[in-house]
Amino acid sequence: MRNKVIPYGRQSINQDDIDVVVNTLKADFLTQGPKIKEFEDDFANYVGAKYAVAVSNATAGLHLAVLALGLKTGERVITTPITFAASANCVKYVNGEVWFADIDPNSYLLSLESTRKLIESKPKGFFKGIIPVDFAGLPVDMEAFRALADKHDLWIIEDACHAPGGYFTDSKGEKQMCGNGNYADIGIFSFHPVKHIACGEGGMITTNSESLYKKLALLRTHGITKDDMAENHGGWYYEMQELGFNYRLTDIQSALGISQLAKNNSGVTRRNEIANAYKEAFRGKIKFQYVPEGAYNAHHLFIIEVDDRKGLYDFLRTQNIYAQIHYIPVHTLPYYKTIGYGDADLSQSEHYYSKCISLPMYPSLTDEEVDFVIQKVLLFSS
Ligand SMILES: *Cc1c(COP(=O)(O)O)cnc(C)c1O
């Protein structure tokens, strides 16, 4: 028995992260200062997108994304049930309808085929958009989803909250970083401490569209601007052109984000080392997430499937290993159940949920801790 709890995820904050935050506290701006733009530029550069808009959290980012894309009351959007509720909730914020398509049983990602079937079972124009999720850090083949979306005139929001640093390889053999905006209209990232980049709370929206970028930036700060005004009464004058929100990130958080982002590649490399150790130990014995050819998993999570999931979860707790379940299918959450998703055929998602468990996965996990987790999982499963 170990005394130290091994959680499923954990932030890595070093002295250099602390120093930049302290320096920002001593500088002129706590919010709306120079660090926000610097973080946005660094982030856009990192994923290879033209524009980035920093926001207070990824949920706010998803809300602004559906607003900027013009989603209206009653309009329908498809997403996966195997995600955090926020991927679906953003559609409900603007009184849209959420429809779920099933997952692929091996990659656990939204299935292209079940999405296609759902779209083709309805008249043209029935759906407005798709929100695929780079689940666990595994990039969606966004090129394939773009082809489907174009055929039916749909927009795509890539929920890349799990996947900064992940990429897939497109049909031309080029690496496509998650959230780079080459195929999806908008990408969304989260800086919640369990995700790769910890800002406390925080999020980033990425896009290659200048018009979407301008809308997102306006909506983030009350719809108020000093640019492109119809009138100008003097230096104090501004216009509120739309009903926006205060979804800003602070300068303090942005300074931390800049420092954290600079370490993301080494963090993702370490996450992949840990994943490889798990895979080597479990291959042929325990099912784990399948990674398609040419894809690089950013590994927010490492998920296995076992028959006695509750048994393993409880056993690992007795060993101070705090594994977690990702996720309870969104359509089965009480809020969505009462809306009436009871009879949707999402059997792959439900089957997956009955078996899935996420093992500890974060850069500061030591080799010795990884071995300890492996040993206990194998002991329970044998
Ligand atoms: C964490 C997460 C979100 C929400 O992120 P916040 O920054 O906490 O709002 C949205 N989608 C997915 C897939 C997530 O994992």
Q: What is the pLDDT of residues 179-209, one digit of tens each?
A: 999 999 999 999 999 999 999 999 999 999 9
Amino acid at 131: I
Residue 63 beta carbon below 6 angstroms from any ligand 1 atom: no
Binding site membership of 87 for ligand 1 (Cβ less than 6 Å): yes
Q: Is 195 a catalytic residue?
A: yes
- Sorting pLDDT into bands at 50, 70 and 90, what band is 247? very high
Q: What is the mean pLDDT of residues 170-174?
A: 97
The CATH number for 6-381, chosen from 3.30.1360.40, 3.30.70.100, 3.40.50.300, 3.40.640.10, is: 3.40.640.10
Distances (CA, A) of 249 to 48, 122, 223: 21, 40, 16
Q: How far apart are CA 1 and CA 3, in angstroms?
A: 7
For residue 60, which atom of ligand 1 is closest to its CA?
A: 9
DSSP 58-91: HHHHHHHHHHHTT--TT-EEEE-SSS-THHHHHH
Inter-CA distances, 379 with 27, 234, 317, 324, Å: 54, 73, 14, 19
Q: Pick from 62, 80, 87 the residue to mutate for probing ligand 1's pocket: most ligand atoms within 8 Å of its CB.
A: 87
Q: Which two tokens stand for residue 53?
A: 């808009």
In this prediction, residue 20 carries a pLDDT of 95
* Mean pLDDT (the chain, rounded): 96
Task: Report how far ligand 1's centroid is from the alpha carbon of 123 (Å).
Answer: 32
Q: Which pLDDT score is estimated for 251? A: 96
Q: Ligand 1 pocket test: which of 84, 98, 201, 358 has the largest number of ligand atoms within 8 Å of its C-beta? A: 84
Supply the pLDDT for residue 199.
97
For residue 10, the number of C-alpha atoms closer than 13 Å in the C-beta half-sphere is 17
Ligand 1 atom index nearest CA of 194: 1
Residue 190: CB within 6 Å of ligand 1?
Answer: yes
Return the percentage of the chain with pLDDT > 90, whole number. Answer: 94
Q: Are 55 and 61 contacting, i.e. CB atoms less than 8 angstroms apart?
A: yes
Section 14-28 average pLDDT: 94
Q: For ligand 1, what atom is nearest to the CA of residue 133?
A: 13
| 9 backbone dihedrals φ, ψ, rounded to 5° | -150, 155
From 192, 201, 245, 358, the mutation candidate for ligand 1 (largest count of ligand atoms within 8 A of CB) is 192
Q: How far is the CA of 233 from the centre of ligand 1 (A)?
A: 41
Q: Cα 6 to the chain's mean position, in Å?
A: 23
> What's residue 345's pLDDT?
83
- CA nearest ligand 1 atom 10, residue: 86
Give the pLDDT mean for 136-162: 98
Written as six digits, the tokens of 14 are 């070093």
Dist CA 273 CA 238 (whole Å): 52
Q: What is the DSSP string of 304-356?
A: EE-SSHHHHHHHHHHTTB--B-----GGGSHHHHHHT-TT---HHHHHHHHHE
Please tell me if the CB atom of residue 134 comes closer than 6 angstroms to any atom of ligand 1.
no
Band of the pLDDT at 270, cuts 50, 70, 90?
A: very high
Q: Is 192 in the pocket of ligand 1 (CB under 6 A)?
A: yes
Q: What is the pLDDT of residue 29?
A: 87
Give yes or no for a contact between 250 and 221, defined as CB atoms under 8 angstroms apart.
no
Please tell me if the CB atom of residue 203 comes closer than 6 angstroms to any atom of ligand 1: yes
Q: Report d(CA 212, CA 114) in Å as an integer.
A: 29
Distance 229 CA to ligand 1 centre (A): 34
Q: Is the dihedral angle over the CA atoms 262, 266, 272, 277 positive or is it negative?
A: negative
Please write the tens of the pLDDT for every residue from 80-97: 999 999 999 999 999 999
The residues facing 209 across adjacent strands are none
Distances (CA, A) of 195 to 61, 189, 267: 15, 9, 11
How many Å lie between the centroid of ligand 1 and the Cα of residue 17? 22
pLDDT, tens digit, 9 for 90 and up, residues 321-379: 999 999 999 999 999 988 877 566 899 999 999 999 999 999 999 999 999 999 999 99
Give me the pLDDT at residue 78, please.
97
| Per-residue model confidence (pLDDT) at position 197 | 97
**Six-digit token string for 237:** 């004058």
Does ligand 1 lie within 6 Å of residue 159's CB atom? yes
Would the CB of 344 count as within 6 Å of ligand 1? no
Residue 157 has pLDDT above 90, yes or no: yes
The answer for residues whose C-beta is within 8 angstroms of residue 235's C-beta and 6 or more apart is none
Rounded to the nearest whole angstrom, what is the distance from the C-alpha of residue 188 to the centroid of ligand 1?
9
Instruction: Give pLDDT, residue 3.
Output: 77
The bridge status of strand 186-190 relative to strand 155-159 is parallel
- Over its C-alpha atoms, the chain yields an Rg (Å, rounded) of 21
119-148 pLDDT, tens digit per residue, is: 999 999 999 999 999 999 999 999 999 999
Distance between Cα 111 and ligand 1 center (Å): 20
- Give the tens place of pLDDT for each residue, 31-78: 888 999 999 999 999 999 999 999 999 999 999 999 999 999 999 999
Residue 341 alpha carbon to ligand 1 centre in Å:
22
For residue 87, the ligand 1 atom closest to its alpha carbon is 11
pLDDT at 220: 98
- Catalytic annotation, pick one of 35, 128, 195, 215: 195
Q: Are 282 and 288 in contact (CB under 8 A)?
A: yes
Token code pair at residue 61: 């980012």
340 Cβ contact list (under 8 Å, min separation 6):
none
Residue 124 Cα to ligand 1 middle (Å): 31
Cα 307 to Cα 37, 145, 338, 352: the distances in Å are: 48, 32, 29, 10
86 Cβ inside 6 Å of ligand 1: yes
Residue with tokens 């439900």: 350
